[in-house]
Amino acid sequence: MLESALTFSHTLLKQSIVLGDTVIDATVGNGGDTVLLAKLVGKQGKVYGFDVQEQALNTTKEKLLFTGLSEQVHLFQQGHETVGKVLGENEQISGAIFNLGYLPKSDKTVITKGETTLAALEALLPHLRKGALILLVVYYGHEGGEEEKEAVLTFAAQLPQTNYHVLQYNFINQKNQPPFLLAIEKK
């Protein structure tokens, strides 16, 4: 009944993104979110997807091809901290999603890091249209995860409340460090 952090991130995407929107998949990974975003924005919309791993992008390209969703998706084999260079100066986005940690069933030493995650967040903020959401599903049970978690939480908690709502959605009685969700909404 209570949705997991991952499922709740999808619920929020479905509630906030409409046909024709421009959105960001900051960590393409196995392409699950990319496919969802591509469906939500439709052929009139745009999804910019980022991942440093070639394997991830190849898997995702195949998924998009099979589902007929390639047209609206632009994939970049580069870190999400470069998002500011990909977006046009005045380009507005309605959503962005990050899955922080490592790519499941892949090289566990390739992880997202606080420094580049914060750089991506800083670059995204000026592009948010009113009501836009940045969602971060934060996995932190792996080596290096705790540092990134702290960096992201500190950054998010300091965003001015006049411009942003920042929600943490977190299961607090579990020993196995399940991911939590951070949602940043532009007012």
CA distance 43 to 47: 10
Residue 108 tokens read as 């566990």
How many residues contact a copy of itself, by CB under 8 A? 28
Cβ 153 to a copy of itself shortest distance, Å: 7
Taking Cα atoms as reference points, which of 166, 47, 153, 148 lies closest to residue 95?
47
Q: What is the contact mask toward a copy of itself in residues 108 to 137, using x (rule: CB under 8 A)?
A: -----------------------x-x----
**Any contact of residue 14 with a copy of itself (CB under 8 A)?**
no
Report the chain's C-alpha Rg in angstroms.
15
**Any contact of residue 165 with a copy of itself (CB under 8 A)?**
yes
Cβ 97 to a copy of itself shortest distance, Å: 15
Cβ 3 to a copy of itself shortest distance, Å: 9
Taking Cα atoms as reference points, which of 97, 100, 127 lies closest to residue 16?
97
Residue 67 tokens read as 């589902």
CA distance 81 to 83: 6
User: Whose Cβ is closer to a copy of itself: residue 76's or residue 155's?
Assistant: 155
Contacts with a copy of itself by CB under 8 A lie at 1-2, 12, 15-16, 131, 133, 153, 156-161, 164-175, 183, 185
